[in-house]
Structure 1
């Protein structure tokens, strides 16, 4: 089985290259700021990662109402993505408490990214979804590196937070490593969904396998 981190959608169009370039720039900034503090990196990045699904769902909802056309299930898929990313954040807040500087960074990054992504989605939905697809590729790489740090004994593998055990229906003795595995699987799913959406909007055949049904997560409000 091909390692999750090796799956990649090669850029072919100018839109793809733009999305890939932005992703690489943001990845460089994250690496420079967080280095190997993967728990803190996850907190900041998951705050931003929950934005695209909500923006996409809102714009698609309004588009569906305005043009009186069916959304083909996109709204629900994008809303589920946003909720899933939010639960990633709720989990990692229990793993690594954000510092005051990181809280300010979250506030700044979320507003800047929200405004930028909203404008991008209005201009080019295809580019916006391709951008998220590349973001998710990098997320899979980051969580694969985090797993490697745990396996090498350089990062602590503590017990899984209660919220994670409830949401992903993990065993009572689940560890952080178990959480990272299911989070990485979520990110790989988002990657395939968004690359598929971008390809559909471009009139291209999807290059990834058809996405599996969304995992049957527990309702965190129960």
Structure 2
């Protein structure tokens, strides 16, 4: 495409005005496709102005950086100084996007220190739940689910033996998978069929989040070794894909498997408590994250944590056996209200 001489001269006469590095005393923003061209004067010398051509997101980030430097100078800090040793720079990012975490306080007025869960997500565990309930395998699928779980327990007993802290950690990395997989598949099903889920998506995702909080708690108690971390990668990779396929083929079998897994979890935590009571495992102070999540007493110990975690597993047992029973009756989960908030 040929450009006329008059057009070329117009372009050449315009370019110096916008792209010259001299005389840029203030920021100028010119809209372009996909963002903006922004000129930022240098803070060092007026004769060494710098041009920054960025998209609107990057421009807001650059402006944010300059604002932070100015604030640090006002507060007596330096622009390139690192945060104090042992502390985190938790200062919220204020930008064009307006995203800022609100200030959250506890009931006593102290600042809420967790970002992985909020105060309204905490609860007092129901310790009155029946821990001895068991679903006797009657049908063919029930027996498959039951003996599958028993087969999975055998290598776990050999590997961890009586190291119940690490055993609990490994158990939770697996137990947090089914709720997420089931919730995800129900979510997609709800979208395809243009129908409500009856609250089951939320209930299963609540289960997954609760199991993940168990893991975050036991991470404070038992620091995993490198080969245990590697084992988590392997087990989670296999179990996620296996459960995903299983849920696509037979949700009633999948929920029954999880129900039996939770029964085994109750047994494991009961053995954990026996070792604590015998003194074979030190009954250390409860992690701070557990005290806030389950609303425990500040003087709570590891034993108190194991008790509430075991109660959670009993609730998950009931939810999954209940979901499997619904499918066995030839009904869909959304036909009955889900036990949302049933920890």
TM-score, normalised to structure 1's length? 0.91
Aligned residues: 211
Q: CA deviation at 1:12?
A: 1.0
Q: Report the CA distance shift for 1:134/1:33 in structure 2 as closer, same or farther (over 3 A).
A: same
The RMSD of aligned alpha carbons is 2.0
Whole-angstrom CA distance in 1 between matches of 2:231 and 2:131: 27
- 1:214 alignment counterpart: 342
Runs of 4+ residues over 4 Å off in structure 1: 1-5, 210-213
Q: Does the alignment pair 1:21 with 2:122?
A: no
- 1:106 alignment counterpart: 232
Whole-angstrom CA distance in 1 between matches of 2:339 and 2:321: 10
Q: Report the CA distance shift for 1:58/1:2 in structure 2 as closer, same or farther (over 3 A).
A: closer
Whole-angstrom CA distance in 1 between matches of 2:276 and 2:300: 14
Whole-angstrom CA distance in 2 between matches of 1:73 and 1:38: 34
Query: Does the Cα contact within 8 Å between 2:168 and 2:218 map onto a contact in 1?
Result: yes
Query: Taking CA–CA contacts closer than 8 Å with sequence separation of 6 or more, which of the two structures ends up with the larger relative contact order?
Result: 1
Higher strand share goes to which structure? 2
Q: Report the CA distance shift for 1:145/1:211 in structure 2 as closer, same or farther (over 3 A).
A: farther
- 2:271 alignment counterpart: 145
Q: CA deviation at 1:5?
A: 4.6
Q: Does the alignment pair 1:200 with 2:322?
A: no
Query: Does the Cα contact within 8 Å between 1:48 and 1:113 map onto a contact in 2?
Result: yes
Query: Does the Cα contact within 8 Å between 1:5 and 1:144 map onto a contact in 2?
Result: no
- 1:191 alignment counterpart: 317
| Mapping of residues 57-206 of structure 1, within 5 Å | 57-203=183-329
User: Which deviates more, 186-195 or 162-171?
Assistant: 162-171
Q: CA deviation at 1:214?
A: 2.5
Unaligned ranges ≥5, structure 1:
216-222
Whole-angstrom CA distance in 2 between matches of 1:159 and 1:4: 27
Whole-angstrom CA distance in 1 between matches of 2:300 and 2:198: 37
Q: CA deviation at 1:29?
A: 1.2
Higher helix share goes to which structure? 1
Query: Does the Cα contact within 8 Å between 2:252 and 2:325 map onto a contact in 1?
Result: yes
Query: Does the Cα contact within 8 Å between 2:206 and 2:341 map onto a contact in 1?
Result: no
Unaligned ranges ≥5, structure 2:
1-126, 332-337
Query: Does the Cα contact within 8 Å between 1:189 and 1:211 map onto a contact in 2?
Result: no
1:174-193 superposed Cα distances (whole Å, 9 cap, x missing partner): 00000001000000000000
Q: Report the CA distance shift for 1:54/1:44 in structure 2 as closer, same or farther (over 3 A).
A: same
Whole-angstrom CA distance in 2 between matches of 1:144 and 1:129: 23
Query: Does the Cα contact within 8 Å between 1:192 and 1:211 map onto a contact in 2?
Result: no
Q: Report the CA distance shift for 1:82/1:105 in structure 2 as closer, same or farther (over 3 A).
A: same
1:1-31 superposed Cα distances (whole Å, 9 cap, x missing partner): 9995532100111111111011001111111
